[in-house]
Structure 1
Amino acid sequence: MTNDRTNVDTMVIGAGLGGSCQSHTDGGHRTGTGNGDARRIAELEREVQELRRANEILKVYFAKELDLELESNQSALAVEKPGEPALAEMSPAAPPAPARTIRWTAAQPSTIPDPPRPMAEFRALGPIEAVVDGQLLDLGAPKQRALLALLVSKVGQPVAVDVIVEELWTGNPPPSAITSLQAYVANLRRVLEPNRAPRTPATVLRTYGRGYLLDNHVVEVDVHRFSERASAGWEALDRGKPQQALHELEAGLTLWRGQAYAEVADTTYVRPEVARLEELRLSVIEGRCAALLAVGAHEMAVAELEAFTQAHPLREYGCELLSLALYRAGRQADALAVLRTNQRRLAEELGIDPRPALQHLENEILNHAPALDWRPRPGGGA
C-alpha cells in the first residue's frame, strides 16, 4: 500500500512540474503513463500564455490607434521571452488583427451653411424691377417689362404662351406676336443671367412645356418678404410685443413703391393678386397703427389714421383705432364724432349698422371707462 501511494504521488508531482514520469506498476500490472498527461498540460499552459500575449499586443495596437495612454504593463512586451514563439508563429487560436483601421477625430462644431444667395431679386410692389449681383437691370421695352411682371406674379408656376400673348396684346395679338415674345424672353434671359454660357439651359427664366416660368428656387421676390413681415408683425402684436410688431410691420410697408405689378395690374390674369396684396397692405397699415397705440404714440397714430380713414372711410377697424387714438390724446368729442360719422355713412351707403365693437367703444367713451386708458406694459412692451 505504501509503495502504491508513493507511485501515485510521484506521478502527480511529475505531471505538475511538466516533467516526464516513468511507467508504474501495481502488483506487476501497468497502471498508466504520465508522459501524455504532462504534455497536454504543458500545451494548454503554452496556449494560455500565447492568448494573453496576443491580448496585450491588441491592446497596444488599439491604444496607439485611439491615441490613448498605454497601460504600464506594455513594457513587458518589449522583450520576447526565451522559448516563446515569435508573433508570426503564434497559434491560429489567437484572434486576428482587425481588417479595418479605427480612427477617431476630434468632434467638429456643427455649422449650418448659409442659404445660397438668389440669382436674381425681383421687386413687384410698384413698377417691376430686377437686381442681379447688386445691380439694377435695364429691363427694356414696355412689353418686355410687362412680360416679366406677368411671370413674377406667378413665380414658381408656368404661364402658358397663349395666356401671355392674350394679356400682353389685350386680346388682339399681331401675326408676329409669338416671334416678339420669343425675342423678349431671349433678351430677359440675357440680362438675368449675364454669365450663362452659350447654348446652355437657362436657370432663372425657364421654358416649361408650352410656356415659361421663373424658378422660385433661385429668385427672391419682395412680395414674399412683405407677406413674411406682415405675419411676423401680427404674431408679435398677438403676443403682447408691440415694439417688435412695429418693427416688422414698418419693414414690410417700406417695400412698397406704388401699385403692385404696375405694368400688368389691369390684366385679367393678375388683377386678383393685385387686389389681394392691396387688402393685405391696408391691414398692415391698421396693424401698425394698433402697435403705435400699444406703445403710447397716440398723437402719431392720430395723424396716420386721419389720413387713412379719409382714403378708406368704410374700413371700420380704422375708424375704431382713430376714435381710440383721439380719446387717448384728450379729444373725446372728436372721438365720438368719428364713430357717429361712420355709423351714418354705413346706414346711408350700405344700409347696415356698425359692428358691435364700435358700438361698445362709443359706450365706453361716454362713460370714461378706465379700460380705454393707456398703460405701459412691463418691460416696455417689447
Structure 2
Amino acid sequence: MRNDGTNFDTMVIGAKMGGPHQSHSNGRRPAHPGNGDARRIAELEREVRELRRANEILKVYFAKELDLDVRPAPPALEFGPGNPSGTDLIPPTSRVPADPMHWAPARPQRASDEPRPMAEFRALGPIEAVVAGRLVDLGAPKQRALLAVLISKVGQPVAVDVIVEELWTGNPPPSAITSLQAYVANLRRVLEPDRAPRTPATVLRTFGRGYLLDNRVVEVDIDRFGERATAGWRALDRGRAQQALREFEAGLTLWRGQAFAEVADTAYVRPEVARLEELRLSVIEGRCAALLAVGAHEMAVAELEAFTQAHPLREYGCELLSLALYRSGRQAEALAVLRTNQKRLAEELGIDPRPALQHLENEILNHAPALDWRPLPGGGF
C-alpha cells in the first residue's frame, strides 16, 4: 500500500472523472463548466478531502497493526519576544532548539486514566530500571551496556550487528550472538517478571534482525528532562520566572552523573551523550537567567562563577555572570568578565564576542537603566 497521499488523490480524481489521461473525442478544449459542472467539481473536491482523511487514518491504523513506529511530528515551538531580565539575555539560538524532535523526544501521549508504564528507565547517569516501583538488578556489565544501547534508541529497532559491534568494540568472539541472546533473555525476565512462558515479550521486543524497547509501555528520564527544559524556556520567555525556575530545577534533579555512563564512549551512543550534555548546560544557564529574573542576583553569581570556570567559552554564561555581578554592585568585576571572555575568544578561536556581549559592555559602562532589576508584572509566577 502506498503512503503517497498526492498519488492517492490523483488516482481518485482520475477514477471519478474517467481516468487521468482521458482525451476529448473532438480534439478541442472543453467548454467552460456550467453551474452543474461547478457543483460536481465541488462535490469531487469534498470527496477527495474525505478520502485523504480516511487515507491518513488507514496509514496510522496499518502502522499500528504492522507494529511500525509511526508518530505525528510534534508542533514547532513558538516563542514571543519576552524579555524577563530587563535586557535581551535569551537569544533565539539559546531559547529555541534547532530540532524540536531531538530537544524533547516524542512519545505517545497517555491519558490520565491509563496504567503506569511497565518499566521506567534512567539514563541520565548509570543505567537504572524500575519495575513495579522497585529498582531491579540489571546484571553483568555487558548486559547493562546492551540495555543502554537500546535506551539510546527507545522506540527504534537496533540491529544485532550494531549491538555486537558496540558491546565487543569491534572484536566480537565466536560466541557473541549466543551471549547476546542470553543477555536479552535475562533482561526480559527482569523487566517482565510476570510474563507467562513462551509468550511474546512486550517491553524488550524482537524486531526483524534486531531488538527494541517499546516506547508505548516504557518511560525514560531523558524524555522527562526534555519536557522540563522546554517548559522552562517557554515559561521564562513568557515572563513566568518562578515557574521557569521550578521547571529547570526539576529537570536538573534527574541527572545522576554522565548520561549513559556504561556506554558513553561508544561510537553509537556518543552523539546522544553530546546532545544531552549540551541540553543540560543550556538548562543550567536558563536556571541562572530565571534567578536573575526573580532578583536572586548573589545566588546567580555563585552559580555562574563555577559554571563559567568549567565552561569558559560559553558566551551566554559569561553574559549572565556579567549582569549578575553588575546587579550585585560589582561593576568592575562585571566588566572584567566580559573583557576576559573577549581576550579568550580572540586567542583561542580567533573570533570576536557576539554583539550582545559588546552591547552589554557599553550599557554597563553607561549605567544603563535597562540593566537594573525590576520585579516582573504580577510577580512573574
Post-superposition offset of 1:380: 1.3
2:252 paired residue number: 253
1:132 paired residue number: 131
Structure-2 separation of matches of 1:317 and 1:113: 38
2:320 paired residue number: 321
Post-superposition offset of 1:115: 2.7
Structure-2 separation of matches of 1:377 and 1:241: 8
Post-superposition offset of 1:113: 5.2
2:206 paired residue number: 207
2:349 paired residue number: 350
2:164 paired residue number: 165
1:232 paired residue number: 231
What is the CA RMSD across the aligned residues, in angstroms?
0.7
Q: Does 1:367 align with 2:366?
A: yes
What is the letter of the counterpart of residue 324 of structure 2?
A: A
Structure-2 separation of matches of 1:345 and 1:113: 51
1:356-381 Cα distance to aligned partner (Å, 9 max, x none): 00000001000101110001112211
Post-superposition offset of 1:324: 0.1
1:146-187 Cα distance to aligned partner (Å, 9 max, x none): 000000000000000000000000000000000100000000
1:302 paired residue number: 301
Post-superposition offset of 1:333: 0.5
Q: Which has the higher contact order (CA 8 A, sep 6+)?
A: 2
| TM-score of the two chains, using structure 2 as the length reference | 0.71
What is the letter of the counterpart of residue 271 of structure 2?
A: P
Post-superposition offset of 1:136: 0.2
1:42 paired residue number: none
Q: Does 1:120 align with 2:119?
A: yes
Structure 1 portions without partners, runs of 5+: 1-111
Secondary structure of 2:124's partner? coil
Structure-2 separation of matches of 1:237 and 1:225: 18
Structure-1 separation of matches of 2:178 and 2:255: 34
Judge which range, 372-381 or 211-220, deviates more.
372-381
Structure-2 separation of matches of 1:301 and 1:113: 37
Q: Does 1:282 align with 2:281?
A: yes
Post-superposition offset of 1:313: 0.2
1:244-286 Cα distance to aligned partner (Å, 9 max, x none): 0000011000000011111111111111111000000000000
Secondary structure of 1:156's partner? coil
Q: Which has the larger radius of gyration?
A: 1
Secondary structure of 1:118's partner? coil
2:173 paired residue number: 174
Secondary structure of 2:332's partner? helix
Secondary structure of 1:220's partner? strand
Secondary structure of 2:130's partner? strand
Inter-CA distance 113–328: structure 2 relative to 1 (3 Å threshold): closer
What is the letter of the counterpart of residue 238 of structure 1?
A: D
1:243 paired residue number: 242
Secondary structure of 2:211's partner? strand
Secondary structure of 2:120's partner? strand
Structure-1 separation of matches of 2:112 and 2:348: 57
2:90 paired residue number: none
Q: Among all aligned residue pairs of Structure 1 and Structure 2, give the percentage whose two residues are the same amino acid.
A: 90
Structure-2 separation of matches of 1:294 and 1:318: 15
Structure-1 separation of matches of 2:115 and 2:245: 29
Post-superposition offset of 1:116: 2.2
Secondary structure of 1:318's partner? helix
1:16 paired residue number: none
